[in-house]
Structures are given as structure tokens and as C-alpha cells.
Amino acid sequence: MGSEAKLVAGEPPDGYPREAERDVRIGSGEIVHIRPIRPDDAATLTAFHASLSAESIYFRFFNFHAELSEREVRHFTRVDYKDRLALIVLAGDRMVAVGRYDRLSRTDEAEVAFLVRDDYQDQGIGTLLADELARAARSHGIRAFQAETLSHNSAMLEMFRRVGFPIESRYEGSVVRVHFSIEPVPAYLEALARREAVRQVGIGEGTRGSSC
Ligand SMILES: CC(C)(COP(=O)(O)OP(=O)(O)OC[C@H]1O[C@@H](n2cnc3c(N)ncnc32)[C@H](O)[C@@H]1OP(=O)(O)O)[C@@H](O)C(=O)NCCC(=O)NCCS
């Protein structure tokens, strides 16, 4: 991407969308925090990657990518919050998930990818990331998401099917290309409303800034 965000120690970079920060209740009942990634999350992202199983890494990167290089960490933590966005999920101070979109050059479509730490899978976090990424992407003129998934990755394929967007999938050998419009059609809005009812966090229950 062209311009580097201006960085001031302790401050989020220019363009950081504070409105995308929120607390959410997940399937286990635990309250987690979701927010856009920042350049100072480099160590957090590295620790997150080290906490993943080889299988989860393989499903995400299609190879056994035990460590992220410095270049990758820099690329993944520095986004412009418009054409490239990553949202992370924190349980306390530990990162337990990341979802991202990257706009496909000069189109209104973006590639999406998700990675949830093994012990936090199947609690609605991947779906939460999909909902929040879709909301942010729409506000920047992106109209469809696509993703490449291994054809035996039933968790990812099932998650895409259940989100509520109309999914088209094309099998190409061991890989499935999934494509879906992120227009908030009625079926999606109904599914989203059911999910949001479960995600609600009561006053004073939040992970940030609440008095105890
Ligand atoms: C794929 C992945 C992102 C899904 O995230 P998640 O947080 O576990 O998914 P959710 O909890 O939101 O699950 C959504 C739906 O998928 C289904 N699902 C979740 N895990 C499943 C599994 N292992 N097998 C079948 N279905 C599964 C659930 O039934 C759920 O539907 P429900 O809420 O109506 O019951 C996560 O498993 C992961 O990070 N996997 C490793 C990395 C990867 O595969 N990334 C994809 C490459 S883009």
C-alpha cells in the first residue's frame, strides 16, 4: 500500500477506526474484546501464531508455517483500515483470533481469511469476525468476499454456509474457492440479529474500562 500510517508511541495510527472496538460474549459465556489490529501488536501476533496447532496453521496457510517472518508480521499488523483490514480478538491480554480482508486491486471485492486459536474454535468467533469484517468492508465500498479453502476444511466451509450470505463455491482439486456478496439481505440480517442477541454484554461486564 502507498502511504505508511504515521505512528506515535502508545497512540493508534491515523485512520484507526475506534468504533470497531467492542466487547462480545462468546459461546462459552466468556467475554472477549474485538478490535482492529495495530502496528504495536507485532509481539501479540507472534505469540498468537506460536499458540496454534500445526493443523490450524496448515488450514490457514496451506503449509506448516511454524513461525511468521518479520516481514509477514509487519505486513499483517500494518493495514490501512480501508482496503486492508485485520480484526483481532483478545481474551484478557492474549490474542485468540484474527480475521482479515484485502481488497483485490481496483475491484469492489476482497479476499478474506480467518484463524481462531484451537481452544477457542466453535464458539462463534469466526462468525463474529465475518460479521464485523463485512460491516467494515461495506462502509468502504466492498461488495463481495472471496476465500480459498482446502476442500477438507469442513469447519471453514460450514462457517461460510451458516453466516447467512448466499455462498457460491467452486472446487478446484484440493481447494475450494468460495465467493459471496456481503449485501445485508434479509436472511443474513435475521441470522445476524440472532447472533447479536447472544453476543450482548451487560453494563459493567465489559473487558475494558469497567469499574470492579
Ligand atoms: C475455520 C475457523 C475460522 C472457524 O472459526 P470458528 O470460530 O471455529 O467458527 P464458529 O464458532 O463461528 O462456527 C461457525 C459454524 O461452523 C460450524 N463449525 C465450527 N467448527 C466446526 C467443525 N470443526 N466442523 C464442522 N462445523 C464446524 C459450527 O457448527 C458453527 O455453526 P453454529 O454456530 O450454527 O453451530 C476456525 O475453525 C479456524 O481458525 N480454523 C483453522 C484455520 C482455518 O481453517 N482458516 C480458514 C482459512 S481462510
CATH code of residue 120: 3.40.630.30
CA distances from 25 to 22, 114, 130, 140, 197 (A): 10, 19, 16, 27, 10
**Cβ(59) – ligand 1 distance below 6 Å:** yes
Query: Residue 126: inside a domain, yes or no?
Result: yes
**Cβ(199) – ligand 1 distance below 6 Å:** no
Query: Residue 172: inside a domain, yes or no?
Result: yes
Query: Residue 183: inside a domain, yes or no?
Result: yes
Residue 178 and residue 147 in contact, taking contact as beta carbons nearer than 8 Å = yes
Rounded to two decimals, the pTM is: 0.93
Q: Nearest 5 degrees, angle CA 160-CA 161-CA 167?
A: 85
Residue 1 has pLDDT above 90, yes or no: no
Which is the closest atom of ligand 1 to the Cα of 27?
Answer: 11
Residue 212 has pLDDT above 50, yes or no: no
Which is the closest atom of ligand 1 to the Cα of 130?
Answer: 12
Mean of pLDDT over the chain? 93
- Minimal CA–CA distance to 118: which of 148, 86, 147, 96? 96
Query: Residue 4: inside a domain, yes or no?
Result: no
Query: Residue 3: inside a domain, yes or no?
Result: no
**Cβ(37) – ligand 1 distance below 6 Å:** no
Grouping H, G, I as helix, E, B as strand and the rest as coil, residue 113 is strand
Pocket-testing residue among 55, 116, 122, 188, ligand 1, by greatest number of atoms within 8 A of Cβ: 122
Query: Residue 177: inside a domain, yes or no?
Result: yes
Range of 84's domain?
18-199
**Cβ(146) – ligand 1 distance below 6 Å:** no
Query: Residue 207: inside a domain, yes or no?
Result: no
Among the residue ranges 29-33, 116-120, 171-175, 202-206, the one predicted with the least confidence is 202-206
Mean pLDDT within 82-92? 98
Tally of domains within the chain = 1
**Cβ(123) – ligand 1 distance below 6 Å:** yes
Among the residue ranges 99-103, 171-175, 204-208, the one predicted with the least confidence is 204-208
Nearest CA to ligand 1 atom 4: 126
Query: Residue 70: inside a domain, yes or no?
Result: yes
- Predicted local distance difference test score (pLDDT) of residue 209: 55
Residue 11 has pLDDT above 90, yes or no: no
